[in-house]
């Protein structure tokens, strides 16, 4: 049954995003956009220039909280997502991180052997994320003042995706080195994944305690794996993270996003106990997901970021098809992957109006 998004509730229970993540078919659906803070916004570029480099922006709470709020102020999303990066966790474990202009992230030295694992400080990692946790506190306080119906989402990378970057040392089309190592030395790869799963759970728990109201796991490269590897390196560690977070904070819903999982999305949604939502990537058929994922778990997604760049009739047709497929079930409108820098901000405003109209 559909429920009206403006229905008044007590306390924080009236936030449309949290109602959808609790299994309610709120309509019109809550919406936010992956990478909603970023280079397509002039006000982001101004703060970014002030910070100097990207890691400095992520670890300066006043600036990171400011850019967290920017898209919500401009477009009225139902959620703000903490401004940080999934690679802040390996950085906090002691692997040096930089973002080279035009090259993307570089984690050097790469972690590929027993000595590389021994050099990581997983226990001290959460303490080193203190500036990010301070960003969570500030962003939550700013939302209470400026956008009281918007919820704050904290996040981390999925252990597999973060391991891919740590092993490869940089971005890659296929993360061949990491995937080969997972076959060649599964005991070693398993140790890295376990270390990450534990640190990720601690980090998400710390974000919940700092004020995050929902938590998302971005497993961007999950879809590179064949089914048995997907079970071992995506579903099992994600289920372990979810168990640990739920044990401490059962009130904070978790959104899982195993990108390009295809039909494995159904098994992921069933076996990662307690998920509030699963993310659909751009390639996912929403009508398939609606019958494959249990009806109490919200779906989130999945407009093509390039339809948002194109705008106009193409954007309308694509967005309306998703809305039609999701009507009557718990749903959070989003993109199928992050906003790209060439997105015209007016197109985001047009999308916001369209989703709000249901
Ligand atoms: C794989 C991954 C990363 N980071 C992230 C993922 C998972 C989602 C996905 O698949 O896109 C997740 C992420 N990255 C960022 C956020 C912040 C919150 C938000 O969604 O608005 C989130 C949730 C900011 C960012 N992370 C990054 C930027 C751009 C940095 C800049 O300002 O120059 C932003 C806004 C940099 C980044 N960070 C990463 C890469 C590969 C890059 C370079 C590519 C790029 O520039 O788009 C790693």
Q: Cα separation of 78 and 286, whole Å?
A: 21
Cβ 104 under 6 angstroms from ligand 1: yes
* Per-residue pLDDT at 2: 83
Q: Cα separation of 72 and 180, whole Å?
A: 41
Q: Cα separation of 308 and 339, whole Å?
A: 8
Are the beta carbons of 344 and 309 closer than 8 angstroms?
Answer: yes
Question: Judging by beta carbons within 10 Å of its beta carbon (0-12, 13-18, 19+), is residue 202 exposed, middle or buried?
Answer: buried
* Per-residue pLDDT at 101: 81
Distance, CA 342 to ligand 1 centroid (Å)?
15
DSSP 202-215: HHHHHHHHHT-SEE
Averaged pLDDT, groups of 10, the chain, 358 residues long: 76 87 97 98 97 95 98 98 98 96 92 97 96 98 98 98 98 97 98 98 98 98 98 98 98 98 98 96 98 97 98 98 98 98 98 96
Q: Which residues are annotated as a binding site?
A: 35-39, 85, 165, 220, 337
Options 85, 219, 281, 304, the catalytic residue: 85
* Per-residue pLDDT at 12: 63
Cβ 171 under 6 angstroms from ligand 1: yes
Cβ 56 under 6 angstroms from ligand 1: no
Half-sphere exposure of 215 (CA within 13 A, CB side): 32
Indicate the DSSP class of residue 358.
Answer: -
Half-sphere exposure of 12 (CA within 13 A, CB side): 18
* Per-residue pLDDT at 11: 56
* Per-residue pLDDT at 51: 94
Q: Which domains does the chain have, with CATH numbers?
A: 2-302+327-332 (3.20.20.210)
Cβ 294 under 6 angstroms from ligand 1: no
Exposure b/e, 1-36, CB count within 10 A at least 16 = b: eeeebeeeeeeeeebbbbbbbebbbbbbbbbbbbbb
The token duo for 270 is: 């069933």
Distance, CA 140 to ligand 1 centroid (Å)?
21
Other CB atoms within 10 A of residue 102 CB: 5
* Per-residue pLDDT at 92: 98
Q: Which of 113, 108, 89, 112 is nearest to 97 (CA)?
A: 108
Atom number in ligand 1 closest to CA 44: 32
Instruction: Provide the H-helix boundaries in 8-129.
Output: 16-21, 42-51, 54-58, 61-75, 88-92, 114-118, 125-128
Options 165, 179, 219, 281, the catalytic residue: 165
Backbone angles phi, psi at 61, to 5 degrees: -55, -40
* ipTM score of complex: 0.95
């Amino acid at each position: 049954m559909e429920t009206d998004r403006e229905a008044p509730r007590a306390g924080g229970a009236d936030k449309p995003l949290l109602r959808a993540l609790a299994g309610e078919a709120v309509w019109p659906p809550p919406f936010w956009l992956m990478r909603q803070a970023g280079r397509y916004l002039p006000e982001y570029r101004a703060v970014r220039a002030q910070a100097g480099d990207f890691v400095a922006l992520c670890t300066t709470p006043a600036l990171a909280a400011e850019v967290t709020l920017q898209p919500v102020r401009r477009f009225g999303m139902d959620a703000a997502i903490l401004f940080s990066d999934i690679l802040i966790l390996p950085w906090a474990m002691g692997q040096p991180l930089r973002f080279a202009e035009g090259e993307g992230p570089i984690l050097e030295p790469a972690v590929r052997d027993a000595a590389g694992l021994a050099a990581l400080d997983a226990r001290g990692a959460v303490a080193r994320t203190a500036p990010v946790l301070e960003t969570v506190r500030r962003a939550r306080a700013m939302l209470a003042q400026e956008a009281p119906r918007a919820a704050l989402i904290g996040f981390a990378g999925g252990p597999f995706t973060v391991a891919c970057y740590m092993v490869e040392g940089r971005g890659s089309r296929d993360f061949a080195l990491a995937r080969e190592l997972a076959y060649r030395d599964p005991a070693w790869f398993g140790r890295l994944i376990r270390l990450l799963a534990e640190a990720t759970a601690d980090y998400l728990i710390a974000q919940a305690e700092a004020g995050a109201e929902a938590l998302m796991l971005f497993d961007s490269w999950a879809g590179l794996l064949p089914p048995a590897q997907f079970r071992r390196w995506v579903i099992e560690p994600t289920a372990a993270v979810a168990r640990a977070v739920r044990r401490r904070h059962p009130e904070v819903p978790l959104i899982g996003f195993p990108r390009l999982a295809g039909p494995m999305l159904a098994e992921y949604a069933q076996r990662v106990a307690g998920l509030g939502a699963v993310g659909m990537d751009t390639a996912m058929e929403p009508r398939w997901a609606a019958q494959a994922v249990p009806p109490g778990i919200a779906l989130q997604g999945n407009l093509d970021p390039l339809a948002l760049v194109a705008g106009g009739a193409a954007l309308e047709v694509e967005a309306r098809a998703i809305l039609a497929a999701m009507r009557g079930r718990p749903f959070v409108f989003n993109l199928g992957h992050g906003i790209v820098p060439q997105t015209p901000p007016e197109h985001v405003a047009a999308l916001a109006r369209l989703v709000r109209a249901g």
